[in-house]
Structure 1
Amino acid sequence: MNLDWVSKDGKLLLGARIVRTFSYGFLSVILAIYLKLIGFGDIAIGLVLTTTLVNSVFFNLFSSAYADKIGRKNTLIIFAVLMIASSVIFFVTDNYVALVIAALVGTINVTGSEVGAFLSLEQALLPQTVKDIKKRNSIFAIYNAVGTFAMSAGVLVSGLPSVLQNYGLDKIGAIKSLFLIYAACAVIVLAIYLFLSKNIEVKDNAPKSSLSLKNISPKSRGIIAKMSTLFAVDSFGGGFVIQSIISFWFYTRFGADLTSLSYIFAIAGVLTAISYMASTKIASKIGLVNTMVFTHIPSNVLMILLAFAPSFSIAISLFFARMSLSQMDVPTRQSYLMGVVSEDERIPAAVFTNTSRNISQAVSPSLSGIIISTLSLSAPFVVGGVLKIVYDVGIFFSFRKIKPPEEL
């Protein structure tokens, strides 16, 4: 793939994304299972998963308030250091309080897609790493595609504990070894960020980002507020079916082992990555908003049907079909948002919309634990699917007439 149209900083951000999401791949599959093996109940597991998402809320707000004050590069470096710290804590102890603290202050990602501290800042930086406005959709598609391919490769590593058990490690010890790999990935991410240039920093005469929307134009303020609300609905629904919960569902309902799960999520990741690139082609024909909505509704119908799958093979088929469509809205919504606000509004726009997603998604895993305990193992799929369809309808009627510059 020729990336001559992407700056050095853009390529470094893509590299960091690849390494980071590789580590997220295996962690999202094994974390809930690991917590179950060391004695945590369903509700306790949900609380730990929720804490990892609360972390994203705090650090997104931190990015908005301080990234342009202490430096965008320095902010990314801080996040990488915290990623290292959290992985080490998960490796050295299984104390519940310590793990909650690690999930809260570190960057443990369990969703199967990136929602954490790095995303908002990188999302705002990407458009300025390309000169041609028509390439904005492409850089977001590539950013998400390479991350998902890397995550798929990482998912395959979740089968490593099964191999290590053949060499004398018990199941828990074998899984814990993956936290060391996670730490190594975090060190590489840190090293990549050290090579970023001053070009990613805010210009001296440009407004600096903050937690306030007062410096944002009334038009952009309305777009950000409405989109934040709708994104919150989408993420609240999505929080019921994060990858750790789906992994737990396959493990519990059908007895899928870690090796099988690694293959399932790896294939799903490849399908998702291909869909990212396809979304750019579709958006060029029917527009970003239409692409977001008309690919997302069918995927949510498939998620609801997944709850009623009578067999393992049918469940896998429905899951793969869903993953071929469900993430097409990701690069399109990122590109759309960065296109309809001005350059100096991009960091607060990314932060506020992603923070709304993180706050609402942080609640859902705990509720999933309660729903699973009181209703059924599959109930979260139905709840999540219905809520995400509500989001799709809202996006269509709210933004179908607001076009980014390249669609005017």
Structure 2
Amino acid sequence: MSAKPPTTTKDQLPLDQEAATMLADRGGATLSTSSRAGPRYDPGGRISLNADDSDDDDSGNETCDPAMRPTLATRLRAAIVRFFHEIGFLNMVKAPFDVRILLVQHFSRVFAFGTSTLIMTLYFNALGFPKTVTGLLETGALMGDLVISFVLSMFADTVGRRRIIRLSCLLMCASGVVFALSDNVYVLLVTCILGIVSPSGSEVGPFRAIEESTIAHLTPVSSRADVYSWYALIGRFGMALGTMFCGTLVQALQEKYEWSNIRAYKFAFIFYALMAFIMFIGSFMLSDECELELVRQRKIRNQEREAESVENSITERQEESNESVELLVDNTEEPEELSRRADDLENEQPKKRRGIREYLPKLTVDALKTLAILVPLIFLDSFGGGLAGNGWIAFYFKDRFGVKEGTLGRMFFFANLIAMGSALVSAAIARHIGLVQTMLVAHVPSSIALGLIPSAATFGLGRVLFFIRAGTHMMDQAPRQAFISSIVSKDERTNIMAIVSVVRTLSNSAGPTITGTFAGQGRIWISFVLAMSVKLMYDFGVMSFFLRRGVVRARS
């Protein structure tokens, strides 16, 4: 007689078991799981997630009853559950409400960035600015974002993450309004420096560092890579829709309503400002859980300190009042002196001064060592990306092959869809081969395809190379962010992410000026080849510092 197995509630089941139990209940079967993966079905009708378990001879299920076998629908439902688990969809759905709000915010932001990325270089060219001036304006936008991102991100955990997000949304909204109303080069330069606008298709502003750090402390380690993958996936989908929407809108305004290029571009920037304002409204849905625990603890300590100060002040006043009454009875002091002492006591207030050092981050020695390795590598990768940003890629195809904005928008849309698919499977690949290996496998072919785009003799061949680049470009994003978040502590995560973001923007900002100079000389192909070379150096650095030093199976 076999012992009865212990009862397990659904809340105690792992993700695979919980999902399979739900579907098994619907199909009239019971769950059987073990540590190995792969769906199978026992003769007794049990659904198992194991592919290679053998039947238990002692279980009494040696004979197979055909009536008890699971139906095709049950098998299909189990396969669907397995698929959604592999792509991380179940972990994303089970994420906290704040994480889902951040994903919606991320989608809205990159949708707006997609509109500015497609037309910003074309807008400056339509205004008659020299290509070198266009490069300087885009460099100014990235350099201004460097300062703004650094300052706002470093103070986010102490001032409040939600406050920084709202302020950044307002800066983004103001940038779109100025771009829509002015075509003066100096006004646009100031707006590029002080505002938030993306000229290259990359993330700008403090949003990404704050969101990634918040997601990291709201999600468990076991599901963090999956959430990051969907974060990147949703971002690419928003970028895809933004570029296609902008290209279609601009071409329709030009062809159907006979608007000029400049007028159509300005209308797109109005939409950019509108999306930023919608993000500002949506940020009020975030709860206190988004704030770092240190912020909540500091708020509690401040409230306790203020209550204690008030209580001490009341006690001191009562004691002084009792002393004054005794002095009046003894008639040892004059009334004028007693009045002066009472006024001094009333005007005396507890002094509380908070220096700026309390808001500054404190990094440990281990965090500084991690930065010493990450900063040079991120610098190389982002510098290569700045040399061949999406804005200059769109300019290259339009300048060489005469491609219209609508075609460019659709091309970027499908490229981002391909990037979405690659980002979707990146977490599953990382679970099987490791985070660092996934970064290398994806990044090397992406760099090579980018460098070969100028060698294409036709627009069709160039578009194929661009799609190959898009298909592998995003596969290393989620594993890289999960890897970085896994090697730093929770209290330092936002600061590390902010520094990495600043380094990324700093190195990326030098690219447009160099590319603009080469484009003005008719040799823009040099920028693409240089971008490929620098990115391959990044791959060699990752392999040397992380892969060969034993950080092989690091998982988030």
Same fold (TM over 0.5): yes
Structure 1 position 402, deviation (Å): 5.3
> Which of the numbers 332, 350, 358 marks the counterpart of 2:505?
358
- 1:323-334 to structure 2, matched below 5 A, reads 323-334=470-481
* Contact 1:340/1:405 (<8 A) preserved: no
> Which of the numbers 162, 176, 195 marks the counterpart of 1:87?
176
Amino acid at match of 1:9: D
Which digits, 9 at most, give the CA deviation of each residue in 1:46-78, with x for residues without a partner?
A: 011111211221122113432123211100000
In structure 2, the gaps of 5 or more residues are: 1-88, 299-356
Q: Does 1:241 align with 2:331?
A: no
Residue of structure 2 in register with 1:227 after alignment: 374
Distance 1:168 1:69 in 2: 51
Q: Does 1:290 align with 2:290?
A: no
Q: Does 1:119 align with 2:208?
A: yes
Structure 1 position 211, deviation (Å): 5.6
> Which of the numbers 513, 516, 523 marks the counterpart of 1:376?
523
Normalising by the residue count of structure 2, what TM-score does the alignment of the two structures yield? 0.70
Residue of structure 1 in register with 2:34 after alignment: none
Q: Whose relative contact order is higher, 1 or 2, with alpha carbons under 8 Å and at least 6 apart?
A: 1
Q: Does 1:141 align with 2:288?
A: no
Residue of structure 2 in register with 1:167 after alignment: 257
Residue of structure 2 in register with 1:153 after alignment: 241
Distance 1:211 1:379 in 2: 42
> Which of the numbers 103, 106, 109 marks the counterpart of 1:20?
109
Residue of structure 1 in register with 2:190 after alignment: 101
Which digits, 9 at most, give the CA deviation of each residue in 1:162-211, with x for residues without a partner?
A: 111222322211121101111110011101111111111121358x9966
Residue of structure 2 in register with 1:397 after alignment: 544
Structure 1 position 404, deviation (Å): 8.7
Structure 1 position 254, deviation (Å): 0.8
Q: Secondary structure at the match of 1:194?
A: helix
Q: Does 1:182 align with 2:329?
A: no
Structure 1 position 286, deviation (Å): 1.1
Distance 1:135 1:47 in 2: 42
Q: Secondary structure at the match of 1:307?
A: helix
Distance 1:349 1:210 in 2: 15
Q: Does 1:44 align with 2:133?
A: yes
Q: Does 1:10 align with 2:157?
A: no
Residue of structure 1 in register with 2:289 after alignment: 199
Distance 1:331 1:69 in 2: 27
Residue of structure 1 in register with 2:455 after alignment: 308
Which digits, 9 at most, give the CA deviation of each residue in 1:267-314, with x for residues without a partner?
A: 001011111111111111111111111211111111111121111110
Q: Secondary structure at the match of 2:455?
A: coil
Against the structure 1 CA distance between its residues 93 and 223, is the aligned structure 2 distance closer, same or farther, given a 3 Å change threshold? same
Distance 1:20 1:118 in 2: 9
* Contact 1:42/1:369 (<8 A) preserved: yes
Amino acid at match of 1:145: L
* Contact 1:209/1:347 (<8 A) preserved: no
> Which of the numbers 365, 385, 388 marks the counterpart of 1:218?
365
Q: Does 1:256 align with 2:256?
A: no
Structure 1 position 216, deviation (Å): 2.7
* Contact 2:206/2:498 (<8 A) preserved: no
* Contact 2:201/2:390 (<8 A) preserved: yes
Amino acid at match of 1:144: A
Structure 1 position 224, deviation (Å): 1.7
Against the structure 1 CA distance between its residues 402 and 50, is the aligned structure 2 distance closer, same or farther, given a 3 Å change threshold? farther
Amino acid at match of 1:39: G
Distance 1:80 1:292 in 2: 31
* Contact 1:64/1:209 (<8 A) preserved: no
Distance 1:333 1:277 in 2: 14
Structure 1 position 12, deviation (Å): 0.9
Structure 1 position 148, deviation (Å): 0.7
Distance 1:181 1:285 in 2: 42
Distance 1:329 1:222 in 2: 23
Distance 1:84 1:107 in 2: 8
Which is further off, 370-379 or 225-234? 370-379
Distance 1:67 1:305 in 2: 41
Q: Secondary structure at the match of 1:328?
A: coil
Which is further off, 386-395 or 49-58? 49-58
* Contact 1:112/1:243 (<8 A) preserved: yes
Larger Rg: 2
Q: Secondary structure at the match of 2:464?
A: helix
Q: Does 1:60 align with 2:149?
A: yes
Supply the RMSD in Å over aligned alpha carbons: 1.8
